[in-house]
Structure 1
Amino acid sequence: MKKIKENRAVSFIVIFFVYVIAAAAGFCVYNALGLVWWLKLLISDIAATVITFIFSVIFKNASVYDPYWSVQPIVILFACAVGKKLDLLRILLLIAVTFWGVRLTANWAYTFKGLDHQDWRYTMLKEKTGTFYPVINFIGIHLMPTLIVYGCILPACYAFQSDTEANLFCFIPFVISIGAVILQGTADIQMHRYRKNRTGNFMRTGLWKYSRHPNYLGEILMWWGVASMVCVACPDKWFLMSGALTNTILFLTVSIPMADNRQAAKDGFSEYKKQTRMLLPIKKRQ
């Protein structure tokens, strides 16, 4: 087990097969249920998450779940597209979600060091929660993100389950989603370069010069764009934006505070925080 976890190439293969098994389990559960499509999708998504969780326990590494965030929406949306006519709205949604998912998965693959490395946030939670960590691991690290991303991809799935058609206004949120992916990708590339040639405690160039979390901004905007594409075409389904709203709340109340608290241990963080905005890469007035 130790040799498998330390070998990056073998770890990639293991992760690949874990996700094949998880996807197969999800498809089997979906086809076995005689429920409305959105409930079947939810239950099958949870089933795939449980499979991923089991393997994360086997390998004693919650980061087995990390690529689920970006792989899940692509798999779900393409499964919804099977046998369906590809009208303009559906094509726009497939392009946006695929562009986002492939980019984010590629970023994960670039930073993936092997199964012997776990995200610092999970390690911190394990140290803080002790005997309660297995529960926190399943509910907080695996289940909650799955439910949030399910809510984010649900508007796009609805577009494949209904006769909703695009209109000219759908292109505005489409551009927002594509721009969000480019923003997120640019921020990640800039951060990778900074970490290779680290100077100072905080990155103060590019998008990061005025924003502490431009990559999170891209993630937030991406899902507002997807939800808006569908809701612009079908205004009475405004409640489908709840997934994007929940995702935004997650970043504002959990992800960003957690990242900032870690950065707070570095000298000069208070001054750095005063000089930079939380999300928008716009110069802050002093």
Structure 2
Amino acid sequence: MDSIVSLFAVNAAVIFTVLILLWLISIAIKDVSFIDSFWGFSFVIIAGVTYCMTEGGSDERRLLILVLTAIWGTRLAAYLFWRWRKEGPDGRYLAMLGKAEPYPHRFSLRMVFLLQGALLLIVSLPIQLGSIPSEPASIGVVGWIGAGLAIIGILFETIGDWQLARFKAQGAGGVMDKGLWRYTRHPNYFGDTCVWWGLFLIAAETTLGLASFIGPAVMTYLLVKWSGAALLERRLKRSKPEYEDYVRRTSSFFPLPPKRD
């Protein structure tokens, strides 16, 4: 138990220290939008800290969790940072902070940076608990199934983001309904979900890791019901009249063949 508490404490100290520094940067540049790119990379930090603090367990499992998290988080962070530099401040944050006058910086500290830190520590439970020394030491069938699911998720999310970026670059307007976007309205969020349930399956072969299901459950809720798909769809329905037709024929989350008009 002491090792678990120590691991959580160190990860919390590192993450909240970095987030407060980023909050100070956001005040200086008058933009908090870049925090989205830190979301992915923060899990890489947690995975790195956890790997260094959990020596003595299954090197195979620890290394697999570290590598998969690093690939997913670094790719996502780079893409979101590129998008932020290309598109500028996110209108969602501008609207939210506009309602927080006359103390927008206090609001952003609580509701953007510190809240994100708390969510990071919860979502990352498969990374932390799955790396703590436990039996069985080696990866079994369930763990390798989880690894495969995580890889599928990384590919699905990467391809979806690339297809959307190429569509926007063409400047044709309208609704993206080609490629993976023909089968699900949110291939990037679906891929994200696969990654986290995959990491959970790797962790779940251990007693402690089995208790980490709350991590992917929270991530799924965030992506589907809170800050992900639900928020995005409300905005798109207001800004794109043709989006309603896209909703009628396209699966909301799980990839399925499109419905006929």
Q: Normalising by structure 1, what TM-score?
A: 0.79
Cα displacement (A) at 1:172: 0.2
1:1-286 equivalences under 5 Å are: 36-82=6-52, 84=55, 87-113=59-85, 117-131=88-102, 133-164=104-135, 165=137, 166-231=139-204, 233-235=205-207, 237-254=209-226, 255-264=228-237, 265-285=239-259
Whether the aligned pair in 2 keeps the contact of 1:210 and 1:275 (CA below 8 Å) is no
Q: Could you say which residue in structure 2 is the equivalent of 1:15?
A: none
Deviations 1:188-234 (A, max 9, x none): 00001100113341011000113211101111221111122101x11
- Identity in percent: 20
CA deviations 1:150-208 (Å, max 9, x no partner) are 22222222233323422232100111011101100000000011001133410110001
After the TM superposition, which parts of structure 1 deviate over 4 Å for at least 4 consecutive aligned residues? Answer: none
CA offsets 1:231-269 (integer angstroms, 9 cap, x no match): 1x1146433111111111111222212111111121222
Structure 2 Cα separation of the partners of residues 273 and 67 of structure 1 = 28
Partner Cα distance (2:251, 2:104) in 1:
33
Counterpart AA for 1:157:
Q
Kindly state the Cα deviation for residue 135 of structure 1 after the two structures are TM-superposed.
4.2
Unpaired runs of 5+ in structure 1?
A: 1-34
Q: How many residues align?
A: 250
Paired residues of 2:34 and 2:81 also in contact (CA < 8 A): no
Query: What are structure 2's unaligned runs of at least 5 residues?
Result: none
* TM-score between the two structures when normalised by the length of structure 2: 0.86
Distance 2:82 2:28 in 1: 24
Alpha-carbon separation, structure 1, partners of 2:252 and 2:107: 27
Distance in 2 between the 1:80 and 1:237 partners? 14
